[in-house]
Structures are given as structure tokens and as C-alpha cells.
Structure 1
Amino acid sequence: MPRREPATARSTRCVVLFLLAGVAARAVFAVNDGLLPNGHFEQGPDKSQLNGTRVMGRDSIPNWEISGFVEYIESGQKQDDMILPVPEGERAVRLGNDATIRQQLSVTRHTYYSITFGAARTCAQAEKLNVSVTPEFGVLPIQTVYTSSGWDSYSWAFKAKHSTVWLSIHNPGHEDDPACGPLIDSVAIKALRPPHQIKYSMLRNGDFENGPYIFPNTPWGVLVPPILEDEHSPLPGWTIMSDTKVVKYVDAAHHAVPKGAGAVELVAGRECALVQEVSTEPQRSYRLSFSVGDAANGCEGYLAVDAYAARATLKVTYESHGTGGHKRAELVFEAVAEQTRVVFHSSNHHMKSDATLCGPIIDDISLVPVHAARRLRM
């Protein structure tokens, strides 16, 4: 007859299992808008878990799981003749050959979220990052640099299919020097509201008040990827049409924004377009109104935006001194189909004095039937 386990042993084992389950449960973090747990990587591995700068243990960085060639970098650290800057705090991670960092999160099913993170190139020539929340992923090129510091903030959106998900950032590159990979710092998340129509407009999120998370201490905005890499736009209601280029989402805290808290800077010339499709009635006239200006970020010269709707086009030119300002424009068109695509892009490429790309900003976009527009003016 098998010996029965004493009651005290069973009780102890149950307590241990309960505590282990509690630890496992705490490892899945319910997210709020803002930095993920240890999203700035200021909590680092013990020295015993480092081989030089390389992190050796899978769970050595608190709140993160790693694989591949991952390094823990301190601000000002040098690689050959190159100084590795860290924009937020004192520490970041570098993803070498086939390296991944990931974190498990508790989210709300069927909700749309946007991830924002900082990234900087180092010594590889064609760096890119695979951002994923299973089963969705996107490959974000980070070849083009839009800031003088070398750091850019990138966004990527997903729809939560499950209540617990893994967020992964992966460097798929393979270089002769395994340390030649991008630096990552400041990873945040934000729940996106369903795209809304602004008052008296047929367009959704035409005021750009709904967009990706912007770090309070970073004055360079957030890059929004093309639809080829992200079917769920971090700018709800809008699609970014391009092969590899982006638009930049900017905030009123750091930029001159025509109206409200957010706007879009068209930083890629004709290579990237901001697009929204809207239901229309064929042979009916509509009025598309929008603001064009500069973000007070030193982008000087004659900035121009091309707008398209149905068969109508309009070029709006704004003379910028790089100190802010905007003007209003209108395009009246006749719909030719039940769906009309509204398109905006910068007419040209522009650069600031530090040789970084810039462009006109666009904001406060509205679309109304012409007869409705007349009533509103009465």
C-alpha cells in the first residue's frame, strides 16, 4: 500500500506552488500608457552576467528576456572611434547578430495598441528591426536618420488577439562584427482609441489628436511606418503609402502645431503619402480643408504640400522661416466614385541646417459636402 503524504507536507507543497504561480503571474505585466517595465533599461544585469558588454543570461536584464548577441551599453561608451550615445538615462541595449529582446504583456483583447521605441544605427550599413506581437510583425528600416543625435523614435501598431502577448524586437542582420547592430532605448506602449470623426467632418482623426506615444523628453517626434510594414497604423484612420519611407508625428509640447496637440510632418518628399479613403456620393461636390505650415524646428524655405481628391489637385506653398506658422487651404472636388481617396505628400525633399530631413506639417483636415460647408458659414 503506497505511503500517504503527510498533511503538513501537502500543505507546504501547496504554499510553494501558490507562491511560484504568483511569481509567474507577476512576470506578465498589465500595461498602461507609457514606458514598459524597465523600458529604459536602467536596471541592468549583475556584473557576473556580463562578458565585457555582452549579456550572457537569458533573464539577466530585469523584466526582459533576451536571445542572441545582446550588449548592455552605458552612455558615452566607445566602439573604435565612435561614441555610443544614450538619449534617455544612462543605459541602453544593442542588438547584435540575430538578437532579440522581448517582454510578456497583459493587454485587452481586440484593442489596438501602438509601440514606441528609440533606436540608433551603429556600424552596420542596412540596419532594420523586426517588431512583432504574435501573430503580427513588421520590418522597420532604420537606414535613414532623421535627427542630428542619430536617435529616432519609431512606432508600430497591433491589434491584440490574446489577453497575454509577447512583444519582441529582433535584429535579423548578420554582420562580420556581431556587435554591429542597432541600439535600443525607451520602449513604451499606448492604447489607441477607435478612429473618430471630428465635428462637421467626414474624415476620421483629421485633427491627429489620436496617435502614438511621444516621450516627454524627446523633441524629435515619432516616425510612423508605411502600411507595407504595419497594417494597423499608429495614426488611426490614416494610411502611410510608401515602400520604406515614413511620416513624422509631432506634438504641441515640442513643435508649432496649427491646432490641438498633434500634427504630421511630411519628411519624405514624394516618396511617402498620407492617405485616407472616405465614402462619397458620385457627382456630388465636397470641400477638403486643411492647414499647412512649419513645425518651428528650423525647416526653412518654400515648403509645399500636394493634395489630391478624386480628379482634383492642389499645391499649397508656405514660406517658412523655421519658427512656426501656418496657413489654411481648400480644395473643392466632385466625387466620381462611392469611395474617394484623400492624399497628401510633400512636393519636395527639405533639409535643416544640420543636414537632417524635414518638411511641411499638415493638420486640422476636414471634409464636408459643399452645401453643408455653406450652411456652416451662415
Structure 2
Amino acid sequence: MAKGTPCMALLVLLVGVADRVVSTATDGLLPNGNFEERPDKSQLNGTIVKGRFSIPRWEISGFVEYIDGQKQGEMVLPVPEGACAVRLGNDASIRQKINLTRRTEYSITFSAARTCAQAEKLNVSVIFDSGLLPIQTVYTSSGWDSYAWAFRAKHTVVWLTIHNPGVEEDPACGPLIDSVAIKTLSRPRRTNSNMLRNGDFEEGPYIFPGSTWGVLVPPMDEDDFSPLPGWMIMSDTKSVKYVDAPHHRVPHGARAVELVAGRETALVQEVATVPGRSYRMLFYVGDAANGCEASMIVMAYAARASQQVQYDSHGVGGHKRGKMDFVAVDKLTRVVLQSMNYHMKPDGTLCGPVVDDVSLVSVRKGAARRLFR
């Protein structure tokens, strides 16, 4: 990591001797996941946390600050949930021991914000094993974004660690962290009416009830577990946004995906097909009623086929149906959805078309049933 470019890493580590209280993972905030349980005043030197176990339910290491309506110079440091958050300086970390079910998949959702004037250079990453998931772009006008990351539990007790391995001249120029939550992920099955898993995006990461900005799902390696079961996010550095019906207009059901990074990211799923057989893919394209006004284009790809769907958004909600027919050329076919243009809201934040209710069927009567496993 280059000097002057801070980053954050999320790690799940195997626990050793059980020397601290273990939290049992249930969907929602981790115990004191919003840091509203405060350190004792005797454990603070201004904003700097002195004791290793000073923040209830968390263990800290390195330069960690407890932010409670604080200012950095003339800049106010608001937090997205409640009044408090933590800031991780150079090589600082916070961690909590949690109890899981082995071989079960989980998604972590957490909020992060950059703080210092050098914010444009901030490179925030989520790392697990050898996987690096960069999340360096800010997608909200507040500066806070929520991110999701998924894993399969290999042990019943693990440390959940959030670590900033960055090196800054000012150790206080690290990211703010707030609202750390966990969710157990199910594994949606393919059905007789849809060869795609989780085509309606109803299964996904935890979304904070009061959050109006959704959850970013960063790019991942093909072997990583996805916070959107069944789907991969293919990109170098950009994310897609997972949105919910209470805060956005969703074409179908309660959840959808907003393609906020133009051509730089794609939503991908691989499905078993029979070479030479014909298939039909259906999907919705719309807008999230978040003020994103633009002529939007979503491109669908599969095998040798592609289909462009244009949707003229007025930023107030709405959708249309897209369709693509193709003939499989291999036993495995990648289905891809991608926004072809970049869009911004009036406040300058990135936005894009919403996709939802993606289905794939064999158009040969009776053939689909034999393909589903």
C-alpha cells in the first residue's frame, strides 16, 4: 500500500482461547455494533481510546478514536446511526468474537466514511484470505456508505476484525466506522420457472432499517462468497448498490439492484445450459425514485446474444420489461447485466438503472425441468 493512501480491511479470523465474551450471531447489529455503549471517561484521552477493552463488546488495537459529535478542525463528523462511531488510525483495528454455525454463509454490513482533506486518495478495501475488494468510491452526498461482504463460516467461533492497514502522516486521518451488522444468508434454489438463483434479489445483505442509501456490494473474485447469493459482481474497483422497497422504488418484491457504476461493473451469474438449446431471459429495468433523471440503457449478454433495453427515467420510479432470446453454445452460460452509461443525481452522487426479477427458462417445452438441479 502506497504511503498516504489509507485503506480499511475486513477480516474474519479463527479464534484461539475463549478469553472474552462471545456474541451469538443473530440478524442485525452486533452487540454494540453502533458503538452507542460508551467507554468510561477514564479510558479516554480526549477522543483517543486508551484501554484495549474500553469500548464495550469490542477489543481494540492501535490508534482508535471514539467519535461523539466531534469536529476535526472546521469539519463536523456526523455518524449515520445514533451519535457515536470509531475512527481507525494507522494500523488500528477493532474486533469482536462471535459464535456462528459452521458451513453457514453470512454477510457482514458495515458503514464507513473518510475524514481528512486527502479524502480523494482514500482507498478503502475489504480483505479476507487472499481476496481484495476495493471500495474506494463514495456514493452518497453525506460521505457515509454501507458495504457488504460475505463468507462461509469454517469455525463455530471467530474474530470479526475491522482493520485499517493504511499509513498516513496524520494517524487521525483514518476512516470512520459505524453500524456493524451480520445476517445469515440462505441459498435460493433454481426452480421450474427460473433457472437463475436469486433472480429476484430477495436474498441479500442486511440493510439498516433507517438507511436511505442502500448497501454497496463490491467486486469479488469468482471463488468468493457473494452477499447476493447466486450473483457475482465483476469489476476492478466499482460496486453495485442493493436497495430496498421502504426507501426506493423497486419493480418487483422488496429488493433490487441499482447499477451505479456504468460500464465499470457487471452483474453476472453462471448457469448450466444445453448447447444448441434456445433460452429466454426476462428482466425489469427501472429507476429507484431517487432523483436519477436520465436516458438509461441496460445491456444483457448471454452466449453470443446481446440485448439493449432503454429506459427514460424521470427519477420518480417506474420500470419496463426487457427480453433476450439466445441459443446456448456451451454447457455453462454466463448471464450478464450491465449499465452502459454513467449517471449522476443533482447532488453529484452516482446513480443508475435498477434491475430486478431476472428469469431464465428454456423455450423448448418440457426441457427446463430436466435442467434444474
Normalization by structure 1: what TM-score? Answer: 0.89
What is the distance in 1 between the residues matched to 2:54 and 2:185? 32
Pick the aligned partner of 1:353 from 343, 346, 350: 346
Q: Does 1:62 align with 2:62?
A: no
Judge conservation of contact 2:135–2:239 (CA < 8 Å) in 1.
no
User: What is the SS of the residue equivalent to 2:364?
Assistant: helix
* Structure 1 unpaired stretches of 5+: 1-23
Task: Tell me how far 1:227 sits from its aligned partner.
Answer: 1.1
User: What is the SS of the residue equivalent to 1:283?
Assistant: coil
Over 3 Å counting, the alpha-carbon distance change for 1:371 and 1:142 in structure 2 is closer
Match of 1:286 in 2: 279
Task: Tell me how far 1:129 sits from its aligned partner.
Answer: 4.4
Task: Tell me how far 1:174 sits from its aligned partner.
Answer: 0.7
Paired AA for residue 57 in structure 1: G
Task: Tell me how far 1:225 sits from its aligned partner.
Answer: 1.2
Match of 2:155 in 1: 162
Match of 2:7 in 1: none
Judge conservation of contact 2:131–2:220 (CA < 8 Å) in 1.
no
Paired AA for residue 116 in structure 1: T
What is the distance in 1 between the residues matched to 2:366 and 2:71? 60
Match of 1:277 in 2: 270
What is the distance in 2 between the residues matched to 1:141 and 1:39? 23
Match of 2:230 in 1: 237
Judge conservation of contact 2:139–2:145 (CA < 8 Å) in 1.
yes
What is the distance in 2 between the residues matched to 1:192 and 1:265? 20
Q: Does 1:53 align with 2:47?
A: yes
Equivalences for 1:116-155 in 2 at 5 Å?
116-123=109-116, 124-125=118-119, 126-129=121-124, 131=126, 136=129, 138-155=131-148
Task: Tell me how far 1:131 sits from its aligned partner.
Answer: 4.3
Task: Tell me how far 1:372 sits from its aligned partner.
Answer: 3.9
Over 3 Å counting, the alpha-carbon distance change for 1:272 and 1:297 in structure 2 is same
Task: Tell me how far 1:52 sits from its aligned partner.
Answer: 1.1
User: What is the SS of the residue equivalent to 2:42?
Assistant: helix
Match of 2:292 in 1: 299
Judge conservation of contact 2:135–2:218 (CA < 8 Å) in 1.
no
What is the distance in 1 between the residues matched to 2:328 and 2:124? 40
What is the distance in 1 between the residues matched to 2:302 and 2:309? 14
Over 3 Å counting, the alpha-carbon distance change for 1:369 and 1:218 in structure 2 is same
What is the distance in 1 between the residues matched to 2:352 and 2:106? 27
Match of 1:89 in 2: 82
* Structure 2 unpaired stretches of 5+: 1-17, 369-373
Paired AA for residue 254 in structure 2: A
What is the distance in 2 between the residues matched to 1:199 and 1:363? 19
Paired AA for residue 181 in structure 1: G
Paired AA for residue 35 in structure 1: L
User: What is the SS of the residue equivalent to 2:76?
Assistant: strand
Task: Tell me how far 1:199 sits from its aligned partner.
Answer: 5.2
Over 3 Å counting, the alpha-carbon distance change for 1:176 and 1:229 in structure 2 is farther
User: What is the SS of the residue equivalent to 1:277?
Assistant: strand
Pick the aligned partner of 1:31 from 25, 33, 37: 25
Pick the aligned partner of 2:67 from 59, 69, 73: 73
What is the distance in 1 between the residues matched to 2:260 and 2:97? 34
Match of 2:180 in 1: 187
Judge conservation of contact 2:126–2:134 (CA < 8 Å) in 1.
no
What is the distance in 2 between the residues matched to 1:203 and 1:368? 9
Larger radius of gyration: 1
Match of 2:201 in 1: 208
Deviating runs (4+, > 3 A) in structure 1?
128-133, 136-142, 372-375
Match of 1:19 in 2: none
Bigger relative CO (Cα 8 Å, ≥ 6 apart): 2
Count, aligned residues:
350
What is the distance in 2 between the residues matched to 1:196 and 1:82? 48
Q: What whole-Å deviation, never above 9, does each CA across 1:169-224 have from its counterpart, x for those lacking one?
A: 11111100000011000000000001322550100000101000000000110000
What is the distance in 1 between the residues matched to 2:125 and 2:96? 14
Q: What whole-Å deviation, never above 9, does each CA across 1:109-157 have from its counterpart, x for those lacking one?
A: 0000000001111114433445466xx4654434311111111000000
Task: Tell me how far 1:261 sits from its aligned partner.
Answer: 1.0
Match of 2:107 in 1: 114
Paired AA for residue 26 in structure 2: N
Over 3 Å counting, the alpha-carbon distance change for 1:111 and 1:67 in structure 2 is same
Larger helix proportion, structure 1 or 2? 1
Q: CA RMSD in A?
A: 1.9
Paired AA for residue 339 in structure 1: L
Match of 2:35 in 1: 41
Pick the aligned partner of 1:334 from 303, 327, 334: 327
Paired AA for residue 170 in structure 1: H
Q: What whole-Å deviation, never above 9, does each CA across 1:205-256 have from its counterpart, x for those lacking one?
A: 0010100000000011000011139811100000000111110000111111
